[in-house]
Structure 1
Amino acid sequence: MDIETFNCDLLEFLAASPTPFHAVQQMEIRLSQAGFVVLREADDWTLHAGGRYCVIRNSSSIVAFTLGEKSILDQGLRMVGAHTDSPCLKVKPQPELFKKGYFQLGVEVYGGALLNPWFDRDLSLAGRVSFRDTSGNIGSVLIDFKRAIATIPSLAIHLDREANSARSINAQTDIPPVVMQTNDKQTSFRELLLAQIRQEHPSCEACKVLDYELSFYDAQPAAIIGLHNEFIASARLDNLLSCYIGLQAILADSTEYRVLVCNDHEEIGSQSAAGAQGPMLRSVISRLLANEKEFTRTIDRSMMISVDNAHGVHPNFSDRHDANHGPLLNGGPVIKINANQRYATNSETSSLFRHWCESADEPVQAFVVRTDMGCGSTIGPITASEIGVQTLDIGVPTFAMHSIRELAGSSDAYSLYKVLEMFYRTEDVAVDRH
């Protein structure tokens, strides 16, 4: 796959993945087309050497894996991890707000969202809806309005002269999106959702919406921008960009034992049944092995690469970076390091990655947060502590992380894809200790 094809398909993936549910659905489609068999956790599994499989939990987390021809105890697992969720605005259970003839929806802020950029955007709505059908059965479907149906208008500067110097945002009162004008205060959001289900899924015969998990998202599609097409601009680059890179890497042919895990709920701490701090990955790996002793032996020969976006040095705010560790967009993948293990990288895992980058003729950078600033974290330390696997934290450098529209270099994702493809083919991830 060349870089143009890679980036074109990436834009399509981002457009089709407004929520974690849709992202996992897109990954399942691509995996199935490549011969991966979808397994149910409730079933007994019959697995074969050379087989390709995937497991989905909560429709928002996925583990894909391939089985090698040799013994898993000798080869171990090559694992890549990412997360499917992004900061956003989620609709409340009883969201209807009627003010001055406008119909608005109450929202909760999911994760550490940068709120200012949400104003004056064309917003659409997508997610999962549960319903009862005409036969009394309970079902759920994914919906996506796919067009701009709402906005959060800014207050004019004439009415807030301090807007450019002192405005703060009250998440309860300032950000409910405006959906339409109506004088009918009996308007029910669930009735509007029922009409959308019937439009998107007429065969469901839904008669009542019971509940939902819905998120607003920016209706502006992802794009390649810059005078020389240097950048990718999109919502949810953190961290669907990593999901897509890992997906393309595991789709490549290989005879190794490979795993791709994309968890939900990273932005809110990963502590859920579908999150990295939950049992999903350990459960899947355990089913490939006979007992706990084999699990320990396999993990000792394995490695996890946690892929989550890194902070590129911003030209307007370069003082927010350590002067020696300012990753540049289009400067290659970034090794993320933190002495307090907010990232799980150690000197051996970073050395291995540097070696693979050199072997693939790809550049590599490093990120360390300023010593006087706090450091974010990833699924890397969580996965390392949950299953005991040696782990490396890396990512593609980006601007505006957690904004409604983020920016990455147009060559970095493809560069990292080539390195991860090499990692997946690596027979040995051990460092000789003398």
Structure 2
Amino acid sequence: MQHFNRELMAFLAASPTPYHAVAQMVVRLESAGFTALSERDAWRLEPGGRYFTTRNGSSIIAWSMPATAKLEESGLRMVGAHTDSPCLKVKPAPELHRHGYLQLGVEVYGGALLNPWFDRDLSIAGRVSYRRSDGTLSQALLDFGRPVAVIPSLAIHLDREVHNGRSINAQTYLPVVLGQAKEKADFRALLKAELEAQGTSGIERVLDYDLSLYDTQAPSMLGLESEFLLSARLDNLLSCFIGLDALLNSSTEQGALLVCNDHEEVGSMSAAGAQGPMLAHVLERMLPAPEARQRMLARSMLISADNAHGVHPNFADRHDGNHGPLLNAGPVIKVNANQRYATSSETSAFFRNLAALEEVPVQSFVVRTDMACGSTIGPIAAAEIGVRALDIGVPQFAMHSIREMAGAQDSWNLSRVLRRFYAEVSLG
């Protein structure tokens, strides 16, 4: 478990954006012998072969073909997660020159908790598109990797009502301070200089970018016995890492697949999101015959892994009294009568049995009946491809904060259950 958590923290630290997370996953997959496939090429999938493909550089699907069995007879074991997290994104024309300071305008991505973004050591990372000196277009990942920005709080002396329910105006309160500037600065020129300093040559002009702010504080273990994990982007890079670890460490001859989609935090409606056709396209290539593919899906199951709300000791009244998951007390099965989660009694029982075989405890989460319920890629993917599914996750605190908290044991236990899921001979 300690080795698992060390690798997990290294993955989180190296993945400030979905682009970096997918790049990290590609490295691990290639090291394990998986073959990269481009969606632009014809595919020839071999029995027992292991493959992966990406879309937009921010979504990835990795899978193992069955060695001997036919997919339509054995079914496919699928785990799903998402690569994106709520954050602040740099606007296309971000430069603000005010009172001698260079600031950047930002846009809020997803349902971010905004208060924790103030007074943090922030950096900038993402993908940059540019024109090369020979006229061709190219892209590069960029990570400043050091504190370059901050959103300073206003002193309480100048805002005595700050504790009386003052809301945050995202347009006026969140522009970040990048430095002092006596002259007008060109942000794209700054990006070009940073890319060149990091070894990218031949840049004529930066054309566009998808860049996010992130907290430079490294992941850490916390607690008297180091029983907690603190990091940015636990929702949901934690599940991406768990799913990948389970896939790479599963000894199986069955068909096994991991899908990690972008854009879950903003509704999943994109070419790279769960509501897009990426997973369906891969399944069509795995098994082109429509009837055979339907037979496969009828024998398959999808486990959607996305973190759950642990019961906060200071706000226990926000939970249903019988459904308050505790950190380090096992993975959580998420249930909602209105199908905000994909769990059914059948798929829940299947997961409980897997966990029992691994001697891993299981918890349940149901939102209070008088509160709205969030959702995941589970119901979307299940509806898109027509497969049995359930929603599970590791319990956590501070979901959608700039720094989140989970139990050090829960991720390891969930990986153990997912390894068994990938190797399970029969899905019922």
User: So what's the TM-score if we normalise by structure 1?
Assistant: 0.98
Aligned to 2:260: 262
> 1:177 corresponds to which residue?
176
Query: What is the aligned length?
Result: 426
Deviations 1:85-121 (A, max 9, x none): 0000000000000111110000000000000000000
Match of 1:286 among 277, 280, 284: 284
Q: Say which of 219, 224, 232 aligns to 2:229.
A: 232
* Residues 1:5 and 2:3 aligned together: yes
Shift of 1:290: 2.9
1:51 paired to 2:45: no
Partner of 1:214 in structure 2? Answer: 211
The one-letter code matched in structure 1 to 2:212 is: S
Asked if 1:121 corresponds to 2:115, the answer is no
Match of 1:156 in 2: 155
Q: Which residue of 2 aligns with 1:131?
A: 130
TM-score (normalised: structure 2): 0.99
What is the aligned counterpart of 1:390 among 388, 391, 407? 388
| Partner Cα distance (1:309, 1:201) in 2 | 37
Q: 1:201 deviation in Å? A: 2.9
SS of the equivalent of 1:164 reads coil
Aligned to 1:301: 299
Query: Among residues 392, 408, 411, which one is paired with 2:409 in the alignment?
Result: 411
Are 2:33 and 1:21 equivalent residues in the alignment? Answer: no
Q: What secondary structure is seen at the aligned counterpart in 2 of 1:421?
A: helix
Partner SS for 1:165: coil
Gapped regions of structure 2 (runs ≥ 5): none
How many Å separate the matches in 2 of 1:247 and 1:290? Answer: 26
For residues 401 and 306 of structure 2, the distance between their equivalents in structure 1, rounded to whole angstroms, comes to 15
Q: How far, CA to CA, are the matches of 2:203 and 2:74 in structure 1?
A: 49
Which runs of structure 2 are paired with 1:421-432 in the superposition (5 Å)? 421-430=419-428
Aligned residue identity for 2:370: D
**CA–CA distance in 2 between the matches of 1:129 and 1:310?**
33
Q: C-alpha separation between the residues in 1 aligned to 2:160 and 2:182?
A: 32
- Percent identity between the aligned chains? 61
1:381 aligns with 2:385: no
Q: List gaps (5 residues or longer) in structure 1.
A: none
Shift of 1:200: 1.6
What amino acid does structure 2 have at the position aligned with 1:414?
W
- Superposition map of 1:76-95 within 5 A: 76-95=75-94
Describe how 1:316-327 pairs up with structure 2 within 5 A. 316-327=314-325
Partner of 2:29: 31
Structure 2 SS opposite 1:166: coil
Poorly superposed stretches of 4+, deviation over 3 Å: none
Q: Tell me the residue number matched to 1:372.
A: 370
SS of the residue 1:354 aligns to:
helix
What amino acid is the match of 2:164?
A: S
SS of structure 2 residue aligned to 1:275: coil
**What amino acid maps onto 1:410 in structure 2?**
A
Partner of 1:166: 165
Structure 2 distance, partners of 1:295, 1:45, is 17
Report the aligned-residue RMSD: 0.6
SS at match of 1:41: coil
State the 1:393 CA deviation. Answer: 0.2
